[in-house]
Amino acid sequence: MTPWLLLVALTTSSPYVSSPADPPPSILLVVVDDLGWTDLGCTGSSFYETPSIDRLAAQGVRYTSAYAACPVCSPTRVSIQTGIHPARLATTDYFGAAGPERWKRKTPSLPAAYLDRLPLEQLTIAEILKSNGYATFFAGKWHLGPEGFWPEDQGYDVNRGGVTRGGPYGGKKYFSPYGNPRLSDGPEGEHLPDRLASETIKFIEQHQQQPFLAVLCFYSVHTPLIAREDLAAKYRKKRADLDLEPKWGNERQRKVRLVQQHAVYAAMVEA
């Protein structure tokens, strides 16, 4: 099952009544971190190249009007795993964000205290499916609590790279050696997105006779902005050929890029 079909399965009722003899579907969920909503070819980008996702979009169902559970990382991931709104579990900020006691200014917008872990007593999609005979697999970014609250503690049989931190901050970051306690190092210079995808493919190939849940959460395109040099060079050339210059605007107190032309970010999107 493609990730697009998974979204349909999670958010709508089935269009047909299945027979008890029908085998349970296998589920693949792919999550990309910090991707802009116009950063895919199928959502309007003419600079970033995303042919595989574009094919999925053309062959499946796209949701073009929807809300995320939260505008930041960890709370949304809690909702993906549990189906519960973050406020009900008090997981209302990214895990590691400053709580009220660490804020230097006392303002009316002082955030509420939040829980910095996915509670073990809360059922996850992996635990529910595992109890129904599914093999379960997780690869990539977890960011849902300290050790003891990692994927293997939340219903996943296999954990490849899911730890406390929200970015690839160990080792050589997006390249091996990774410095990740749940992902063995590959050959020198191996690219993290390639490795996570390969681990997922291996799991799927090994579980053709059993229904499975495979969750692939890329660390990309979260900072640090580091990419394969061959892809970055490709986009530097494309930027020059199109004569694209940076243009900036303001959003609240931050500068925002108005033209898609960042070669390294483009390389991360494609990878």
Q: Which two tokens stand for residue 70?
A: 């939260």
User: 79 CB contacts (<8 Å, ≥6 apart)?
Assistant: 69, 70, 85, 86
CA angle 82, 84, 87 (to 5 degrees): 130
Strands (E), the chain: 27-31, 135-140, 158-160, 212-217, 248-251, 254-257
pLDDT at 176 over 80: yes
Q: Which pLDDT belongs to residue 109?
A: 73
pTM: 0.89
Q: Which pLDDT belongs to residue 252?
A: 78
Output phi, psi for 206, to 5 deg.
-85, -5
Domains for the chain: give ranges and CATH numbers.
3-11+24-65+119-226 (3.40.720.10)
Q: Which residues are catalytic?
A: 73, 143
pLDDT digit string, tens, across residues 216-240: 999 999 999 999 999 999 999 999 9
Mean pLDDT of 186-206: 98
Helix, strand, coil distribution of the chain in percent, nearest 5: 30, 10, 55
How far is residue 30's CA from residue 32's CA, in Å, rounded to a whole number?
A: 7
Strand 248-251 and strand 135-140: the pairing is unpaired
